[in-house]
A = this chain, B = another copy of it.
């Protein structure tokens, strides 16, 4: 369940859309520049987000990407699972909840607790929260430079 560049870049792209996407679509080049993501790589991440219904994209001049739903209604858990696949910390916790309780080894319960807790925390965080935090971070950065 290691979060690699897929998850990190992808979420940063969504935050970017939440912050700057109020008026019309944002182009991938703009996101890539602001968030320091290789443009060609960002393509794939946006494609996954589009297929999962998080964003919609329009082609042609003036085109770009925008969120499909309000940022407050997108949770971090769902977005990350879209980008990275299952976040389970070990194979035996992968979501095949078919009631199969076989092959449980002694440490599984600890990890199930950790996993449940993790999912709950991630589900409680929305894109709007993250965008607000990023806004604040940028503001703090700007004032610290301007002193």
A125–B110 touching, CB < 8 Å: yes
**In the complex, what distance in Å separates the CA atom of A46 from the CA atom of B87?**
28
A15 within 8 A of B: yes
Q: Give the shortest distance, in Å, between A33 (CB) and chain B (any CB).
A: 16
Interface segment among A52-60, A66-74, A101-109: the answer is A101-109
**B131 touching A106, Cβ below 8 Å:** yes
Q: A118-B118, A121-B113 are in contact. Are A107 and B76 (CB under 8 A)?
A: yes
A interface list, Cβ under 8 A from B: 1-4, 7-8, 11-12, 15, 76, 89-91, 104-107, 109-111, 113-114, 117-118, 121-122, 125, 130-131, 133-134, 137
